[in-house]
Amino acid sequence: MNDMTPDREERKSSLKGMGSSRKRVEDARFTQGKGNYVDDIKLDGMLSGDFVRSPYAHARVVDINTEAALKVPGVLAVLTAKDLEPLGLHWMPTLAGDKQMVLADGKVLFQGQEVAFVIAKDRFAAADGIEAVEVEYEELPVLTDPFEALKSDVVLREDLDPKADGAHGPRKHHNHIFTWEAGEKDATEQVLAEADVVAEEMIYYHRTHPCPLETCGCVASMDKVNGKLTLWGTFQAPHAIRTVVSLISGIEEHNIRVISPDIGGGFGNKVGAYAGYVCSVVASIVTGQPVKWIEDRMDNLMTTAFARDYWMQGKISATKDGKITGLWCHTTADHGGFDACADPTKFPAGFMNICTGSYDIPTAYLAVDGVYTNKAPGGVAYRCSFRVTEAAYFIERMVEVLAIELNMDAAELRRINFIKKDQFPYNSALGWEYDSGDYHTAWDKALEAVNYDDLRKEQSARVAAFQRGETRKLLGIGLTHFTEIVGAGPVKNCDILGLGMFDSCEIRIHPTGSAIARLGTISQGQGHATTFAQILATEIGLPADSITIEEGDTDTAPYGLGTYGSRSTPVAGAATAMAGRKIRAKAQMIAAYLLEVHDDDVEFDVDRFVVKGAPERFKTMKDIAFASYNQAIPGLEPGLEAVSYYDPPNMTYPFGAYICVMELDVDTGEHEIRQFYALDDCGTRINPMIIEGQVHGGLTEALAIAMGQEIAYDEMGNVKTGTLMDFFLPTAWETPHYTTDHTTTPSPHHPIGAKGVGESPNVGGVPAFSNAVHDAFRAFGLRQAHMPHDHWRVWKIANDLGLHG
């Protein structure tokens, strides 16, 4: 039965199951302009809603005069906090256990904050209405520095009792949010005190933004006749949104239908609930008509879920031979005016405690202090896997700094500290059990692929040439070996607002042998309709082309926690495999019945069940599907259907080795990426073409972040980079060619051994690009320079090092 006869190979490949670079079923509609995004939705009588926003970062709202606005032709109503208060909707709960204003309630806390919601017959009238609303503000002192905020007398959150505990425990100061700790403080400090070598550095991961090409938006439609609310929106977690809307509106969940249609990129920007969703729902209930809200790009950049803004003070200790003995990290986390981080409830700093990375560090300690400032709320977004981007950047920079301290090659320093293959499952000093890994193989493969030794020789020659005045360009080799943690997560410790982070798949096979499967996740470009069909094709032996995958309609899809944090493959992919196995288990019984043998006398072979020892006697899955509708089988219900809700036993731990070779112009600060090699190990690879696409896209986000993209504020809290003029999004011209590669180390606890890959390239990419910049200047004494490495900052590195002669 284990012969791979040509016939069998053909049967397997025609299924286009796991491992196939199956072309995407989504592409037909997207390439013909037939996508269905939120702004494409048109309903009879649909109104338009949009916000009056605060120009100030911190101010009292003294008065809102809507008289002139209400006289603008086409304007129907203007909502303020006063209108939402009787409904209890002027504030809403955040995903991080805080609460946030829906509309300004007495004051505003960040530039762009929503002050009033204008409802009009179309967006033209809404825009005119917004201009006509008169708001009187009284400016207050602005806090944009989290360290200053923790010392300042200025109270940002006057709604919180400074003496009471916050959602995550005691608060040290009126602008303090939480302290979260992991590992062992005393033991780590002891190790550091006794170490041969300690390197200390402040590593800052600056504030940036996921900026998906489609901004956030929704259409809310309250059907007053039937008492049913339908809400279309840019929701990465449609079921969670339904539950939240139910809790805050009082409408029962069975009367709420949430639909995520096609979404133009999410990247974590579209996980939480925004004021626009709440106001649209209220407006629809109040007017009895559908209301559409679509934000502008400036609204998106200035007010929706930003990413990062972590000040990470690190200390790393090692023996003089380079064996790391301890890691200490204290992080000051700038959360903006409200703590709206999209984290699992018990993790206010996400999974920052993955910051021991790929290294076998016996003793470690992490403390994170969250702080309020006059900036937009958020922090967990942008392919971060819940702060894993920050953690990976931190450790990959600390290893580089340690290499400088030890005067060692950074590639070698990593190698001697990697967790070894036989140490898995590995329990890290900060509390995670890594499932599997083979870091040495990946590392050696990467270094060989780029001819690492030759690159170092070339670099030395370049330094010498520079010092002789023969060139003004330096060469940097940026190394990264990251381990990340995805697939949130086990219900016992992972929940979003109390909803356990399981996920689901429900399959129904049709009589003529095709199928529909619905999931609790929602693609925003990851190609689920293509890849989850592949999982099923392999599990149940029906062609992927015969399987429709549906997501995003809460009336029909089984409950799930949505798509972000690379959780779809680890959790919903597992549910899909498990549901597929339930189908197969029933199919086995049907096959046995049809073949008149015992259940155990048949076995599954690609697309059929065959009698053991008599392969000419078989029933295909198609035969079995029809039989399930056609035959009265004793002990079996008719039909062929299964559902699985999967509670993962653990997270998964993809890893990778990235190497970036970069040229830097010392005089202009310009960079050129000569080469980028990315090796990813995401366990079992479902669709290599799609994996490669994810890596290309994530690396390009990383390029942007490392080399110029930022959400920058001035001291008055004005956003300096609120449009695409200044918020750096690379074009095809700035983006280099990437070489992708892989190893495959399956996850031992996942039904198909898959780990997920979507976020890895951002997690590993940023340190690779940033380390390249640092590495170029290492020979001249550079230890740490904060990102982004845009032209003027690279120029400043060179200037501060005296390279401008």
Residues 198-237 that bind other proteins (CB under 8 A): 211-215
- Count of residues that bind other proteins according to CB under 8 A: 81
- Among positions 8, 11, 19, 37, the unique one binding other proteins when judged by CB under 8 A: 37
Which entry of 201, 295, 506, 759 is annotated as an active-site residue? 759
How far is Cα 552 from Cα 554, in angstroms, rounded to an integer? 6
| Minimal distance, residue 497 CB to other proteins, in Å | 26
Yes or no: say if 574 and 750 are a contact pair by the CB < 8 Å rule: yes
SS3 234: coil
Specify the residue, 127 or 167, whose C-beta has the smaller distance to other proteins: 127
| Minimal distance, residue 729 CB to other proteins, in Å | 5
Q: Is 700 in the site for other proteins (CB under 8 A)?
A: yes
Site map (CB under 8 A) of other proteins, residues 500-539, x = contact: ------------------------xxxx------------
| Minimal distance, residue 498 CB to other proteins, in Å | 30
Specify the residue, 243 or 694, whose C-beta has the smaller distance to other proteins: 694
| Minimal distance, residue 704 CB to other proteins, in Å | 9
Specify the residue, 151 or 720, whose C-beta has the smaller distance to other proteins: 720
Q: Is 44 in the site for other proteins (CB under 8 A)?
A: no
- Among positions 32, 44, 226, 422, the unique one binding other proteins when judged by CB under 8 A: 32
The residue behind tokens 């399930």 is 628
Nearest to 187 by CA among 359, 365, 338: 365
Nearest to 699 by CA among 740, 639, 728: 740
Site for other proteins in 63-82 (CB under 8 A): 73
| Interface stretch with other proteins, choices 60-68, 330-338, 562-570, 719-727 (CB under 8 A) | 719-727
Q: Is 267 in the site for other proteins (CB under 8 A)?
A: yes
- Among positions 246, 735, 744, 784, the unique one binding other proteins when judged by CB under 8 A: 735
Beta strand extents in 156-237 (DSSP E only): 176-183, 197-208, 217-223, 228-233
| Interface stretch with other proteins, choices 91-99, 138-146, 399-407, 661-669 (CB under 8 A) | 661-669
How far is Cα 246 from Cα 241, in angstroms, rounded to an integer? 8
How far is Cα 244 from Cα 461, in angstroms, rounded to an integer? 61
The residue behind tokens 């809507």 is 66
Which amino acid does the sequence have at 775?
D
- Among positions 19, 55, 162, 265, the unique one binding other proteins when judged by CB under 8 A: 265
How far is Cα 613 from Cα 482, in angstroms, rounded to an integer? 48
| Minimal distance, residue 728 CB to other proteins, in Å | 7
| Minimal distance, residue 20 CB to other proteins, in Å | 13
- Helix (H) / strand (E) containing 691: helix 688-707
| Interface stretch with other proteins, choices 8-16, 78-86, 534-542, 721-729 (CB under 8 A) | 721-729
- Among positions 9, 13, 31, 555, the unique one binding other proteins when judged by CB under 8 A: 31
Residue 383 annotated as catalytic: yes
| Minimal distance, residue 361 CB to other proteins, in Å | 33
Q: Is 33 in the site for other proteins (CB under 8 A)?
A: yes
Specify the residue, 198 or 294, whose C-beta has the smaller distance to other proteins: 294
Site for other proteins in 281-300 (CB under 8 A): 294, 296-298
Yes or no: say if 769 and 707 are a contact pair by the CB < 8 Å rule: yes
How far is Cα 518 from Cα 270, in angstroms, rounded to an integer? 21
155's tokens: 């109270």
Q: Is 731 in the site for other proteins (CB under 8 A)?
A: yes
Specify the residue, 204 or 795, whose C-beta has the smaller distance to other proteins: 795
Site for other proteins in 111-170 (CB under 8 A): 123-124, 127-128, 131
| Minimal distance, residue 493 CB to other proteins, in Å | 31
How far is Cα 699 from Cα 704, in angstroms, rounded to an integer? 9
- Helix (H) / strand (E) containing 643: strand 641-646
Q: Is 734 in the site for other proteins (CB under 8 A)?
A: yes
**CA angle 621-624-626, nearest 5°?**
115
DSSP 239-300: HHHHHHHHHHH---GGGEEEE--B-S--TTTTSS--HHHHHHHHHHHHHSS-EEEE--HHHH
| Minimal distance, residue 37 CB to other proteins, in Å | 7
Specify the residue, 92 or 384, whose C-beta has the smaller distance to other proteins: 384
Which entry of 53, 171, 383, 567 is annotated as an active-site residue? 383
| Minimal distance, residue 638 CB to other proteins, in Å | 37
- Helix (H) / strand (E) containing 766: helix 760-778
Specify the residue, 146 or 217, whose C-beta has the smaller distance to other proteins: 217
Q: Is 689 in the site for other proteins (CB under 8 A)?
A: yes
493 dihedral zone (left: phi>0; alpha: psi -120 to 50; beta): alpha
- Among positions 407, 725, 802, 805, the unique one binding other proteins when judged by CB under 8 A: 725
Which amino acid does the sequence have at 388?
V
Nearest to 295 by CA among 43, 49, 41, 46: 49
Specify the residue, 26 or 680, whose C-beta has the smaller distance to other proteins: 26
- Among positions 164, 634, 733, 802, the unique one binding other proteins when judged by CB under 8 A: 733
Which entry of 216, 218, 355, 384 is annotated as an active-site residue? 384
Site for other proteins in 737-756 (CB under 8 A): 737-738
Site for other proteins in 769-798 (CB under 8 A): 790-792, 795-796
Specify the residue, 75 or 96, whose C-beta has the smaller distance to other proteins: 75
Yes or no: say if 66 and 77 are a contact pair by the CB < 8 Å rule: no
Residue 672 annotated as catalytic: no
Yes or no: say if 97 and 339 are a contact pair by the CB < 8 Å rule: yes
Q: Is 39 in the site for other proteins (CB under 8 A)?
A: yes
DSSP state of 514: -
278's tokens: 């709440």
As beta bridge partners, residue 713 has 719
SS3 405: helix
- What number of helices (H) and strands (E) belong to the chain? 20, 33
Which entry of 100, 111, 113, 236 is annotated as an active-site residue? 236
Burial class (CB in 10 A: 0-12, 13-18, 19+), 286: middle
| Minimal distance, residue 716 CB to other proteins, in Å | 15
| Minimal distance, residue 470 CB to other proteins, in Å | 15
Q: Is 693 in the site for other proteins (CB under 8 A)?
A: yes
Q: Is 667 in the site for other proteins (CB under 8 A)?
A: yes
Yes or no: say if 78 and 163 are a contact pair by the CB < 8 Å rule: no
Yes or no: say if 293 and 50 are a contact pair by the CB < 8 Å rule: yes
- Among positions 396, 435, 484, 701, the unique one binding other proteins when judged by CB under 8 A: 701
**Chain centre to alpha carbon of residue 732:** 23
Specify the residue, 105 or 726, whose C-beta has the smaller distance to other proteins: 726
Q: Is 669 in the site for other proteins (CB under 8 A)?
A: yes
- Helix (H) / strand (E) containing 117: strand 114-120
Site map (CB under 8 A) of other proteins, residues 612-651, x = contact: ----------------------------------------
Q: In what order do the strands lie in the sheet with 641-646?
A: 547-551, 515-519, 503-509, 641-646
Burial class (CB in 10 A: 0-12, 13-18, 19+), 579: buried
Biggest CA-to-CA distance, the chain: 90
- Among positions 594, 712, 785, 801, the unique one binding other proteins when judged by CB under 8 A: 712
How far is Cα 464 from Cα 471, in angstroms, rounded to an integer? 9
11's tokens: 């049967």
Site for other proteins in 407-446 (CB under 8 A): none
| Interface stretch with other proteins, choices 552-560, 604-612, 616-624, 684-692 (CB under 8 A) | 684-692
| Minimal distance, residue 5 CB to other proteins, in Å | 30
Query: Which residues are designated catalytic?
Result: 236, 383-384, 759
